[in-house]
């Protein structure tokens, strides 16, 4: 009986996933309003006119997430030079984000999606009923607010380099 309930719940979760077409390049990026470590609310709409990198990650202070965050930290100046704002999102609390950012000197904003609603809107929520976490996905949002590129299940070691290279290539095309 428990297995049936779990399977039914997982099936229900699948039904609320966004359609792939909703997250396709050229489509509007789902808006969000989430608090940072200090409680200040950040909205995607406030970043219109610039490139935005939204990266979802599972959990603060875990090996893969630390590797990814530190690599992004080390390439952050290049992203800024290319006109991009970098935002990390996980389901961790604001206080957990504050400690993680302090411990690794992260120069970019981490946002707390404790209910997982934004991760769900980006099809980046792993919800296993007993716990939830964000999937390791990244979205590049163009200055007009549309999705430009998505990376699903990224490699934490190589992803920062991919972001910089992709942003350079896109800007050299235009």
Per-residue model confidence as pLDDT tens digits over 2-39: 433 333 344 434 334 454 557 899 999 999 999 999 99
* The overall pTM is greater than 0.75: yes
Please tell me the least confidently modeled range out of 54-63, 127-136, 138-147. Answer: 127-136
Write the CATH number for 159. Answer: 3.40.30.10
Residue 70 a catalytic site member? no
Strand duo 109-112 + 33-35: pairing: unpaired
Catalytic residue among 65, 121, 141, 142: 65
Question: Residue 163's domain spans which residues?
Answer: 2-173
* Total domains present in the chain: 1
């Amino acid at each position: 009986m428990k297995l049936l309930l779990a399977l039914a719940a997982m099936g229900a979760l699948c039904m609320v996933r966004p359609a792939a077409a909703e997250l396709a390049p050229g489509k509007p990026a789902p808006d969000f309003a989430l608090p940072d470590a200090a409680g200040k609310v950040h909205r995607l709409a406030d970043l219109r006119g610039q490139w935005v990198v939204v990266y979802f990650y599972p959990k603060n202070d875990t090996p893969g997430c630390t590797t990814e965050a530190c690599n992004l930290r080390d390439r952050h100046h290049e992203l800024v030079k290319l006109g991009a704002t970098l935002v990390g999102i996980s389901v961790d609390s604001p206080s957990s984000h504050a400690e993680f950012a302090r411990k690794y000197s992260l120069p970019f904003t981490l946002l707390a999606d404790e209910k997982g609603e934004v991760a769900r809107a980006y099809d980046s929520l792993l919800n296993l009923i007993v716990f939830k976490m964000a999937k390791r996905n990244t979205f590049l949002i163009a200055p007009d607010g549309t999705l430009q590129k998505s990376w699903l299940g990224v490699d934490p070691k190589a992803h920062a380099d991919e972001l910089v290279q992709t942003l350079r290539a896109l800007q050299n095309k235009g």
